A and B are shown apart, each in its own frame.
Chain A
């Protein structure tokens, strides 16, 4: 056993046993972040904060929610909204949080794509981040089942049906996932388990991995500039903060994060109190009814783009397209053949690729919610084809890219 001296303070006592001073250095005061960044670099911490809010509000909701098809709807809409003090607040916070977390995830992802933060040594940051995107999607879907309204039921029906694999007619698999022929009590309780236990566990694990992957390649900066972190850290420690290209995570980087979070929370709570309907679909305030299909079934806004890749094609082709769309972003670091780590604006054709992709995702999102009729069908089909065309073009245009 190590030798222990008598400690003169609680801090010292802890330091002897946990090396808190070293931990503080490694995780905060000497965790170096590039200085040349903008507010988009705060999105990671904004996401962490939103996940924290979702967890806390989720814990409060969990105290009153009842995972039973006979009780779920009323436990949410009556017990939590009417009888529990501030239950409405936790519910609205949870609902808005679930929607905004995806907005920030998309901004975070597109920031990574724009600045080339997935390349050369940073592949694992991208891959673990994509893993988080998938885990959050599953978390969002399972959570959407819980109020057991019309949209919960029918979204559950539609999404689990996808596992029948079109012409494969794997209905046995669908029944196995549902635990029943149609979404029912067994279905609800298993999605409840996934939502409050297994998936949050996976998310927390992936967040730790995601942070870990940042450590060695370091955070990218606005110009994609490579420099010696050790050298600049020494400059900083020597007091030459102006010359140094790095800043410590805490308190310098964190102070900016907290400011950005403040701005974000103003928007967040404005939505919680005054504009929550977009995140809580009206159709889901009708209790689940297996005998009454809603006129329009559509997912929440953040799934619309991939839903629209499923919709315009025939059954089997649509499923294949949908499956590819779900995983294609994982392949980004390997399909981008250019060695340049730089903002898209300096990367020739890739600049157009990036903005076309953004516009295409937005068009797909719009079409995903509109009724599949007339001109919307045509636009949806073109946008879905454009999505694949962009991915096919990516290795070619990046190969042609001039080395900076």
Chain B
């Protein structure tokens, strides 16, 4: 039938247009970055340094990640690790206190959201583990750099990590995962949280304002340390693609070379929680949308069918 042929031509050109301005254009605009399934063994870091032709960095990174792998194979003693973990608690108090530029994150669910190998690497050398060693002439000047002097024994590191994987691995909500992994740098104003945590409600405006001053002071410190204030993540779920976020969180340098954002070492399960939280805040209408969608579409299918019958009746005898 002629009319269907015309429809076919219109539909084909429309789809071609869509393909060109959406999937094809985006595939050309963004460099493709391969993910590595939230495992951390330094492959990406070494490849980056090799590409940048920094020979001494390549050597240092190779040695570092080989060391990490070695500790990863050691058997950690959970009970012994508890004592070592007390050292961590000196800074990681869970209180919003800035230390050398940032707040030390709470470790309440470290075993549930971070990768084991990453935690080992982090204790060995925080700047190397988080792939921001380019920011420091001597990586012990990292805010957590002193750990290198405090925890020098590989067995002790294995024990502390074993302790975290066993004892700090309870049920974690999406909000807790986000707060611990991202919240000390990134505010989420649509969830009413700042770098200092949930923003409390005050009875008097004076108290509201003085709390706001506290937030601004903290943000100034983070800004001074990071070079710029890390963006609020309320809408990041819609501003960046799924794939970008995943690979960026795995290794920020891969998507934004030279960024001061550290790799945070989330495991696959940990990132799933964080991602869910960003979706809950950035796209809260998703459940309602998925509920209503089929009904509206069904309505229009019925509408179209009835309209077709009406059209048939009206045009009867016209041809």
Contact = CB atoms under 8 A, between A and B. Distances in A.
A362 B310 contact: no
A295 B28 CA distance: 13
Determine the interface band of chain A, counting residues with CB < 8 A from chain B: 35 or more
A365 B231 CA distance: 33
B235 A259 contact: no
Nearest to B29: A296
B239 A270 contact: no
B311 A258 contact: yes
Given A247-B318, A285-B238, A285-B239, A266 B307 contact: no
Interface stretch (B6-14, B119-127, B144-152, B268-276): B6-14
A287 B263 CA distance: 24
A286 B13 contact: no
A366 B315 contact: no
B315 A252 contact: yes
A241 B317 contact: yes
Of the listed residues B25, B293, B317, the one surrounded by the most CB atoms of chain A closer than 10 A to its CB is B25
B51 interface: no
Interface in A224-262: 241-242, 247, 251-252, 255-256, 258-259, 261-262
B18 interface: yes
Of the listed residues A107, A247, A255, A283, the one surrounded by the most CB atoms of chain B closer than 10 A to its CB is A255
Contacts of B296: 269, 272-273
A371 interface: yes
Q: State the main secondary structure of chain B at its contact with A.
A: helix
A81 interface: yes
A82 B282 CA distance: 9
A301 interface: yes
B20 A273 contact: no
Of the listed residues A35, A259, A304, A366, the one surrounded by the most CB atoms of chain B closer than 10 A to its CB is A259
B136 interface: no
Of the listed residues A247, A265, A358, the one surrounded by the most CB atoms of chain B closer than 10 A to its CB is A265
Given A255-B314, A265-B303, A301-B21, A82 B190 contact: yes
A166 B22 CA distance: 31
Nearest to B304: A262
A43 B51 CA distance: 55
B233 to A, nearest CB: 11
A278 interface: yes
Nearest to A298: B25
Contacts of B318: 35, 241-242, 247, 252
B240 interface: yes
